[in-house]
Amino acid sequence: MAAGSFRRSIASQLSKVLHLPPENLIKSISAVPVSKKRHVADFQLSVASVIENSSGDCSAQDLHLQAQQLAERLKCDSVVSAISAGPGTVNFTINRELLAKTVLQQVWKDGSEYGVKSELFSTVPRQKAVIEFSSPNIAKKFHIGHLRSTIVGNFIANLKVALGHEVVRINYLGDWGMQFGLLGVGFQSFGNEEKLKSSPLQHLFEVYVQINKAAEDENTKKLAKDFFRKLEEHDEQVLSIWKQFRDLSIKEYTRIYKRLGVSFDEYSGESFYQEKAQEVLKMLEDKGLLQKTIKGTGIVDLSEKKDLSTVSTVMRSDGTSLYITRQVSPSVLLATAIDRMNKHSWDTMIYVTDKSQSNHFQHLFQILKLMGYDWAERCQHVSFGLVQGMKTRRGEVIFLEDVLNEVRSRMLQNMTSTKTTKELQDPVETAEKVGLAALIIQDFRGLLSSDYQFSWDRALQSRGDTGVFLQYTHARLHSLEQMHGNAELTDVNVACLQEPDAVSVLQHLLRYDEVLYRSSQDLQPKHIVSYLLTLSHLAAMAHKTLPVKGSAPDVAQARLCLFHAARSVLANGMKLLGITPVTQM
């Protein structure tokens, strides 16, 4: 890794002066973000992180003095061309030709693995991660609310795979509960086999709307209860209807996931765990954790003082599993977690849902701990906020497919009206990929836990910090390579890459491993999004000021290599986010 070799060289010199092992210093040396001031160093060391007895009591003045004293004891060498002290930091500037040569060679050599081979990850053990995300309710159209869970879960899975972890992607379907009793009765009254086969989710949605009008009718309630009871008793005819609903739903979801570029290793669901949930209730009882209220409801006391100030209800008074939150009972989720550990022997399990379920998962992890499962500490809930204001031209949006169609249609319209748009082989496919990039970048720009206001105009701008701009930059750099022939790294004259705009791109490429490391720690995509947007702006500026056409052959070749490196890293980052880079626009 380019940054790694420079960090090691700086750490080696620092270790002799500070009498600390180089490996203890590496994470304290970070690449400096590119500044509009331009004349910035490439790396800096935070003095507070390495000076013994340095605590919060150290004044800024003391730290600055210590930084100056340390800088004076260090010497420039063949790697470092300048050393200076800043406010509490020691700054290192890398020999400019060595910087260009090392970065370009490393990007070229590592390709799609650039950044992930960094020594920043050397102490991170390779693990097996189970990630549960998306989780729609079967027999219902894919709701827009499931979009965030789907793209966030996909990003986390992509990142973990890129970093060498083994990942199991699970889609845990809402495929059980009383609503199937109602839907079954509705289908018997209003269903049509032809419509079910041609447009399953649309037809089931229409049936559900119709039967819901009669949901309060006592006779309908009784019929729905009977239908669900037969389902629980595995009545062949009823089970066959439910299975048909489930299979057709998964087939339809798979088609939509394909549009999103998302896949799963396993489709699971509440229906798999009904019997195991009863076993879990028995385990809770045997361990003395299940308590009964006066009304006969089953609860688990989660309070520290065991005064019932915090409880989780796990069983109805009639002894059946209680369904809460998104119609999933705690006992079913407990059974699911235990079964997954037995099946996959995972190191970490991540649930990706909206933040309204945070307490629910906190309770789940607490109960598992009380049951004696220490691995509960390795369970994690990644929560996200709500998207507000997502409307199509026809009004408020409910279904994801409407959004995907809308973004594709708007993008196609924008591309058609733009003079710079090339003749495309498949404009609809390109519009789909660019539109999806627009949705993902707008969603990932802030903290996942924040709610945000969706705006079509903001998302689809071709300039500014948008997914469209990322795709445009990638396509532009790709066409530059097509026009001038592919860059060749052999015998590149790196002395031709000393202009400030070239150096800025190189400095930014140095930081990629740190950005990946940060995202791997907190599972927030915003660090990568911010990095890629800056890279695109820097590449656009360099494209303007460093022409390939009309330049001397060695200058043109060096610049072509620089733009190739920028495009390669841009594509890598986009793919992690779940975006397919386009080569024409």
Catalytic site positions? 140, 143, 146
Tell me the two tokens of residue 308. Answer: 């019932």
Tell me the two tokens of residue 283. Answer: 């385990």
Tell me the two tokens of residue 80. Answer: 């470092």
* Spatial separation of the C-alpha atoms in residues 214 and 561, rounded to whole Å: 68
DSSP H helical segments within 111-177, as ranges? 145-162
| CA distances for 242 relative to 12, 234, 331, angstroms | 66, 10, 22
**In Å, how far from its chain's centre is CA 436?**
14
* Spatial separation of the C-alpha atoms in residues 301 and 168, rounded to whole Å: 32
CA neighbor of 104 nearest in space, from 511, 465, 435, 565: 565
DSSP-assigned letter for residue 378: G
Tell me the two tokens of residue 362. Answer: 């906190």
Q: What is the DSSP string of 420-443?
A: T----S-HHHHHHHHHHHHHHHHH
* Spatial separation of the C-alpha atoms in residues 541 and 412, rounded to whole Å: 27
CA neighbor of 175 nearest in space, from 227, 135, 138: 138
* Spatial separation of the C-alpha atoms in residues 504 and 539, rounded to whole Å: 9
Burial class (CB in 10 A: 0-12, 13-18, 19+), 97: middle
Tell me the two tokens of residue 481. Answer: 């390579």
Cβ neighbours of 388 (radius 10 Å): 9
Q: Buried b / exposed e across 182-217, counting CB within 10 Å, b at 16+?
A: bbbbbbeeebeeeebeeebbebbbbbbeebeebeee
Q: Sign of the CA dihedral 304, 305, 306, 308?
A: negative
* Spatial separation of the C-alpha atoms in residues 153 and 262, rounded to whole Å: 10
CA angle (36, 41, 44) in 5-degree steps: 120
Give the three-state DSSP class for 398: coil
Give the three-state DSSP class for 29: strand
Segment holding 444, helix H or strand E:
helix 427-444
**CA distance between the termini of the chain:** 32
Q: Buried b / exposed e across 40-61, counting CB within 10 Å, b at 16+?
A: bbbbbbbbbebbeebeeeeeee
- In contact, 502 and 566? CB cutoff 8 Å: no
Polymer length of the chain:
585
Secondary structure in 3-state letters for 207-250: HHHHHHHCCCCHHHHHHHHHHHHHHHCCCHHHHHHHHHHHHHHH
